[in-house]
């Protein structure tokens, strides 16, 4: 928008207020003793009335009465005449509530920042100046309120300026009686009291200015009527909760004389912007003359009555601030500040600033062990209103048309690149979901459910069992549930319920909960219970689970559990429970879980993301779990020793399925095997004759770990990491394991062989099954002897038709490959450039992709199997293996660096 003065910014002005200023303002606009949170500074919910920012433009920082006229500073707006500030009245005000004001500005700097939106010449009557003023924290630039004002400069028009746009009107609904009517009898003292807020215009105290301006004497501040009307709407439609107001505006239509009676008439329009209902209103005097017109407000009308109940903070109370859930842990003062504070523990620990200790003083202790789960908030900070089960159910599952009938907005259309997407089939789904009596699966997570019923719902005889009797699965996670009572009350009316989730709630006093102790009938059909991230103790969890007689699946992850106390002996779940989920806890050994060895029907145990490193601790023995337990998830722990793996069958005698990924041992299977690291591979002068093996011997670290796990665990293990273990897989794995043991034995003297074998309890089984392996230990030779500098080389090959020939010779280590080829050529009657030498290492490697069951899909070519031998019975090997061979490439590299040991076999081929 363009025009004279548009965009011009006035100099910013500092403003300040104290609690007494807020108290005075609330008194002067009609707040009552039922609203002590506006009138009493020690009230735990003490708050500034939300329209107070409009008075700060008059008060600024003045602690004392000021000369109104002298305080008015004429600011020249470019391209606009200079107006007389002593002859101005309010035209219209729109206030947008952006953020609750602190109860005092002490210790902070606030400013009002004003810019011109338009200047309009209305002819002889005067000029209208539209401005926008923001109340801003100067340090952070956060805006707390925005006021859009129209000031009318009486008799100061006809200067040739633009007439301005047509005014947008918000008339009351035609033909409809008002939903609210309020009256206020003003007195001669009304303006004298209100002016003490900081608006000291003599027009509202002495008759002379009013007479000169044509009003006939004293008139009441237009903003008095404006603020009084706002208070009436908030008190009667918004439950006196400042958080229930979003916008408020009205036009000043005519002056009010002291002694006039103000009459407010308000209408609910049923039109919503989000959760805010639009209210239209007018204010008239007792003579029928309109005082405030164009009245409009956006209010949470459905929140009436909830404010007082929610804002009486108690320790352990669940609250929601702008959708973020927390629990009250402390109420009181904080050193170095004024007033009362609430110490809260956020469900999301990243929202906090400390752990309950602030500047060296411990105010409270959080249940979460996170270091940033706590912070302090003012009791006056608006809270999100809680819901009942039925209100949350209807709000989520009612169809759009029903929401509109109930005063809720229809969902916004989905838009992609400016085009509205067509929702195919969703309308049918919404219609089905709207039939609450047919719902089977209900998800009410993060809907602020705090109770089963409200008093109104009980008075109307509404019953959950009549509204939604067929629910089978119910999710009440991330809500405002403080006790288990509402859960019992809800589930008691759902006879078909089979699954219940109450994760991320913060239940308290579970053991003293009387309703829970006798809740068996309420949960008689529930087979699955989820209590994750509730920070309940194991004793509390067992106490709750004991009330579920048919329970077979229990989720208790993310509860910071480090050990389990004994199970209650008479609890039904001890003999019924099939699946137990304890992931994301803090167990460090399996002995911490010894208590659940009493679960005689347990089949599945999930221990993912704990801190498990050992089977036992120095003071405990190895636990033995029920033989029925066949699946264990140990992924994402801290297991780093093979002795742990070797002991698993003893603790889990029924183990048939295991998940073990993302443990240190799985990422590096050599971590616990000293001396087993493979010898360094040859450099660029050598290449392998097969592509089936990797540089590390054919397998990646995790593949090696997989094979070693299969080999070290008994044949009763049928699946590992969700992969089925075939007979060929096991055979390959055991042969690989045997070769690893052999390497480890070869790396130590024979006198230390027993220390290696002690690490491999399956050694004898592998020896008996696959035969005694050949252990090639390096002979220790004095490096000064000639023997240490010679290599016994056995050359063999089928170079000519005479058949296989074998030649043995001693070759110095220092000879290069060219010289070795010359020797081999002379022995076999070949010229050196015709010779190809291949060092046969004598080792076997499993073919990459061993996990594929033999037979495949019938599409592999013969080339895929080139160089791969199917082990024969004479080899006493099974599965698919490949000989490790290294071609000795031409070059000056010394022979001793290209082969290992002092005895080698080299195959001679003719190129």
Render pLDDT for 639-669 as a digit per residue (tens, 0 to 9). Answer: 999 999 999 999 999 999 999 999 999 998 8
Q: Poorest-confidence range of 46-60, 278-292, 304-318, 325-339?
A: 304-318
Query: Which range in 294-303, 841-850, 875-884 is most confidently predicted, on average pLDDT?
Result: 294-303
Asked if pLDDT for residue 413 goes beyond 70, the answer is: no
Report helix, strand or coil for 640.
Answer: coil
Q: What is the DSSP letter of 591?
A: G
13-303 classified as CATH 3.10.129.10: yes
Asked if pLDDT for residue 409 goes beyond 70, the answer is: no
For the chain, what is the mean pLDDT?
85
Render pLDDT for 537-559 as a digit per residue (tens, 0 to 9). Answer: 999 999 999 999 999 999 999 99
Q: What percent of the chain has pLDDT over 90?
A: 56
Phi, psi of 578 (to 5 degrees): -110, -40
User: What number of H helices and E strands is found in the chain?
Assistant: 25, 38
Q: Poorest-confidence range of 113-127, 231-245, 428-442?
A: 428-442
What pLDDT is stored for residue 5 in this prediction?
A: 86
What pLDDT is stored for residue 781 in this prediction?
A: 53
- Confirm if 393 and 449 have CB atoms less than 8 A apart: no
Domain ranges of the chain: 13-303, 313-377, 786-853+875-910
- Report the pLDDT averaged over residues 351-365: 95
DSSP code per residue over 811-852: EETT-BHHHHHHHHHHHHT--GGGEEEEEEEEEEEEPTTTTS
Q: Give 339's contacts (C-beta < 8 A, 6+ positions apart).
A: 46, 103, 104, 333, 378
**Domain 313-377 class?**
mainly beta
Assigned CATH topology for domain 786-853+875-910? Ubiquitin-like (UB roll) (3.10.20)
Q: What percent of the chain has pLDDT over 70?
A: 85
Calculate the alpha carbon distances from 467 to 390, 393, 462 in Å: 8, 10, 8
What pLDDT is stored for residue 273 in this prediction?
A: 86
Alpha helices in 673-816 (DSSP H): 701-712, 727-746, 753-757, 763-770
pLDDT category of residue 167 using cuts at 50, 70 and 90: confident
pLDDT category of residue 215 using cuts at 50, 70 and 90: confident
What pLDDT is stored for residue 655 in this prediction?
A: 98
Tokens of residue 789, six digits: 């500098």
Closest residue by Cα to residue 780 from 742, 748, 808: 748
Asked if pLDDT for residue 677 goes beyond 80, the answer is: no
Render pLDDT for 81-109 as a digit per residue (tens, 0 to 9). Answer: 888 877 777 788 999 999 999 999 999 99
What pLDDT is stored for residue 255 in this prediction?
A: 92
First to last CA, the chain: 89
Q: What angle do CA 10, 13, 16 make, to 5 degrees?
A: 155
Q: Poorest-confidence range of 211-220, 290-299, 639-648?
A: 211-220
Go through 98-132 and write b for each residue having 16 or more CB atoms within 10 A of its CB, e for each that does not: eebbbbbbeeeebbbbbebbbbbbbeeebbbbbbb
- Report the pLDDT averaged over residues 872-895: 68
DSSP code per residue over 529-586: EE-TTS---HHHHHHHHTT-TT--EEE--SS-----PPPPTT-THHHH--EEE--SS-
Q: Taking the CA atoms of the chain, what radius of gyration do you get in angstroms?
A: 42
Look at strands 415-416 and 419-420 and give their pairing: antiparallel
Higher pLDDT, 891 or 872: 891
- Report the pLDDT averaged over residues 187-193: 95
């Amino acid at each position: 928008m363009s025009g004279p003065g548009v965009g011009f910014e006035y100099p910013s002005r500092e403003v300040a207020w104290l609690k007494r200023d807020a108290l005075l303002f609330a008194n002067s606009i009609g707040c009552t003793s039922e609203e002590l949170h506006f009138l009493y500074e020690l009230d735990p919910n003490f708050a500034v009335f939300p329209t107070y920012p409009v008075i700060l433009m008059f008060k600024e920082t003045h602690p004392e009465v000021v000369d109104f006229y002298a305080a008015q500073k004429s600011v020249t707006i470019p391209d606009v005449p200079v107006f007389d500030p002593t002859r101005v009245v309010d035209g219209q005000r729109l206030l947008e509530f952006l953020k609750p004001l602190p109860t005092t500005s002490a210790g902070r700097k606030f400013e009002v920042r004003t810019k011109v939106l338009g200047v309009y010449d209305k002819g002889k009557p005067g000029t209208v100046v539209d401005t926008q003023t923001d109340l801003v924290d100067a340090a952070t630039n956060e805006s707390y309120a925005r006021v859009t004002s129209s000031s009318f400069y009486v008799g100061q028009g006809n200067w040739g300026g633009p007439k301005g746009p047509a005014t947008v009107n918000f008339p009351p609904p035609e033909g409809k009686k008002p939903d609210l009517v309020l009256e206020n009898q003003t007195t001669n003292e009304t303006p004298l009291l209100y002016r003490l807020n900081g608006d000291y215009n003599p027009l509202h105290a002495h008759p002379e200015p009013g007479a000169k301006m044509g009003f006939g004497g004293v008139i009441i501040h237009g903003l008095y009527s404006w603020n009084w009307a706002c208070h009436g709407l908030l008190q009667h439609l918004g439950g006196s909760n400042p958080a229930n107001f979003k916008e408020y505006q009205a036009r000043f239509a005519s002056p009010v004389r002291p002694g006039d009676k103000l009459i407010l008439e308000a209408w609910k329009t049923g039109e919503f912007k989000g959760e805010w209902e639009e209210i239209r209103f007018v204010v008239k005097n007792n003579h029928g003359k309109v005082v405030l017109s164009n009245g409009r407000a956006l209010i949470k009308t459905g929140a009436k009555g909830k404010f007082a109940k929610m804002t009486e903070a108690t320790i352990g109370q669940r609250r929601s601030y702008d959708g973020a859930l927390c629990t009250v842990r402390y109420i009181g003062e904080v050193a170095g500040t004024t007033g009362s504070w609430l110490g809260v523990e956020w469900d999301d620990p990243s929202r906090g600033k400390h752990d309950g200790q602030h500047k060296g003083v411990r105010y409270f202790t959080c249940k979460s062990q996170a270091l940033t789960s706590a912070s302090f908030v003012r009791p006056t900070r608006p809270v999100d209103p809680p819901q009942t089960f039925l209100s949350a159910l209807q709000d989520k599952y009612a169809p759009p048309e029903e929401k509109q009938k109930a005063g809720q907005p229809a969902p916004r259309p989905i838009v992609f690149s400016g085009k509205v997407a067509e929702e195919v089939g969703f309308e049918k789904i919404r219609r089905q979901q709207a039939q609450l009596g047919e719902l089977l699966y209900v998800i009410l997570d993060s809907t602020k459910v705090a109770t089963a019923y409200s008093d109104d719902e009980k008075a109307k005889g509404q019953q959950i069992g009549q509204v939604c009797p067929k629910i089978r699965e119910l999710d009440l996670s991330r809500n405002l549930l403080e006790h288990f009572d509402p859960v019992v009350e809800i589930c008691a009316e759902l006879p078909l319920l089979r699954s219940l989730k109450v994760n991320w709630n913060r239940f308290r006093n579970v053991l003293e909960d009387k309703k829970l102790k006798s809740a068996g009938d309420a949960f008689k059909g529930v087979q699955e219970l989820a209590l994750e991230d509730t920070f309940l103790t194991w004793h509390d969890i067992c106490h709750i689970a004991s009330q579920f007689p048919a329970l077979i699946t229990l989720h208790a992850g993310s509860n910071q559990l480090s050990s389990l106390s004994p199970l209650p002996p008479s609890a039904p779940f001890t003999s019924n429970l099939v699946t137990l989920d304890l992931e994301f806890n803090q167990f460090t050994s399996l002995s911490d879980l010894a208590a659940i060895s009493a679960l005689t029907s347990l089949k599945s145990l999930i221990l993912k993301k704990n801190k498990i490193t050992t089977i036992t601790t120095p003071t405990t023995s190895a636990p033995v779990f029920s033989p029925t337990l066949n699946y264990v998830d140990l992924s994402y722990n801290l297991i780093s020793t093979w002795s742990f793996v070797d002991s698993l069958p003893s603790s889990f005698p029924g183990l048939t399925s295991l998940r073990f990924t993302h443990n240190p041992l799985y990422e590096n299977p050599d971590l616990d095997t000293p001396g087993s690291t493979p010898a360094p591979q040859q450099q660029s002068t050598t290449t392998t004759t097969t592509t089936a093996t990797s540089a590390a011997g054919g397998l990646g670290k995790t593949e090696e770990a997989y094979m070693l796990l299969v080999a070290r665990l008994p044949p009763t293990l049928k699946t590992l990491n969700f992969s089925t273990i075939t007979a060929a897989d096991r055979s390959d794995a055991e042969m690989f394991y045997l070769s690893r043991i052999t390497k480890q034995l070869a790396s130590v003297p024979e006198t230390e062989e027993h220390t290696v074998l002690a690490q491999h309890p399956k050694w004898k089984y592998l020896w008996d099954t696959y035969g005694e392996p050949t252990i090639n230990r390096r002979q220790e030779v004095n490096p000064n002897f000639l023997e240490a500098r010679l290599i016994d080389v056995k050359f063999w090959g089928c170079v000519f038709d005479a058949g296989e020939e074998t030649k043995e010779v001693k070759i110095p280590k220092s000879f290069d490959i060219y010289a070795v080829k010359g020797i081999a050529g002379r022995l076999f009657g070949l010229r050196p450039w015709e010779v190809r030498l291949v060092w046969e290492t004598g080792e076997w490697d499993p073919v990459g992709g061993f996990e594929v069951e033999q037979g495949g899909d019938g599409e592999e070519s013969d080339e895929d199997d080139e160089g791969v031998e199917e082990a024969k019975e004479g080899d006493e090997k099974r599965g698919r293996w490949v000989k490790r061979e290294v071609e000795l490439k031409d070059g000056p590299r010394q022979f001793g660096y290209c082969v290992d040991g002092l005895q080698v076999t080299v195959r001679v081929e003719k190129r």
